[in-house]
Structure 1
Amino acid sequence: MHTFDLSRPWQLHPQVAVRPEPFGALLYHFGTRRLSFLKDRTLLALVQQLQTEPSAQSACTAVGLNGAELRRYEQALGALAASSMVVERTP
């Protein structure tokens, strides 16, 4: 898996639907027909925050992530990018 670039702007893929759940959320990609589970509410908040922040790093800061926990969420974003659930945002 590639290293996820926190300095870049990201967003949910336009074909991804989010269904919040008590444990986090389900993401369904209508193009690939893949389902992903977000296993906690912080990850859901982070994915939603990607839409409006200038970078993934600023989205992490906005949801209160720092230090050791940041690495775990960076890896989760990397997995979501590898499965095309999140894509780099272009101007």
Structure 2
Amino acid sequence: MSVPTSSPVSGGRVDATAGPGPTPVDPAPFDIDAAWELNPKVALRPEPFGALLYHFGTRKLSFLKNLTVVGIVQSLADHRSADEALAAAGIEAAERPLYLQALRALADSGMITRRPPGSSPDA
């Protein structure tokens, strides 16, 4: 899976901009107003190009090729919603569709999951 790079160029094993892909692990659609977090079954390893994500349940490997996306994913648990995480990262309205696409692809693949109710931070 590929998520946005510094330019909207696709790459990696699965293109996040491609048409329908595998069946999502979490059938709930991505909701920007919901609380999200890195899936507890996923390890994130920072790399010079961004990060590697490995899902121990599905054995999927994903590449994040944008340090801003890495920071947003790492901060999701610190915010009440994905929208707040994007705002905290300084993502402007014009850039949001690209970052929402990346988060949607990560949610569809089960790399990020909705946080259980009552576990939201007091942000």
Amino acid at match of 1:74: L
Distance (Å, rounded) in 2 between the aligned partners of 1:81 and 1:10: 9
Aligned to 1:7: 33
Decide which of 72, 79, 86 is 2:105's aligned counterpart.
79
Aligned to 2:9: none
Task: Indicate the RMSD between aligned Cα atoms, in angstroms.
Answer: 1.3
Greater displacement, 62-71 / 81-90 = 62-71
Distance (Å, rounded) in 1 between the aligned partners of 2:68 and 2:57: 26
1:3 Cα deviation (Å)?
5.5
* Cα deviations by residue, 1:66-88 (Å, 9 ceiling, x for unpaired): 21211100000000001000000
Question: What number of residue pairs does the alignment pair up?
Answer: 91
Q: Which has the higher helix share?
A: 1
Greater than 3 Å deviation, 4+ residue runs: none
> 1:12 touches 1:51 (CA, 8 Å); kept in 2?
yes
> 1:12 touches 1:87 (CA, 8 Å); kept in 2?
yes
TM-score by length of 1: 0.94
* Cα deviations by residue, 1:12-66 (Å, 9 ceiling, x for unpaired): 1101001101111000000100001111100000001101100000000111112
TM-score by length of 2: 0.70
Unaligned runs of 5+ in 2: 1-19, 21-27, 119-123
Instruction: Give 3-state SS (helix, strand or coil) of 1:73's partner.
Output: helix
Aligned to 1:36: 62
Q: Relative contact order (alpha carbons < 8 A, sep ≥ 6): 1 or 2 greater?
A: 1
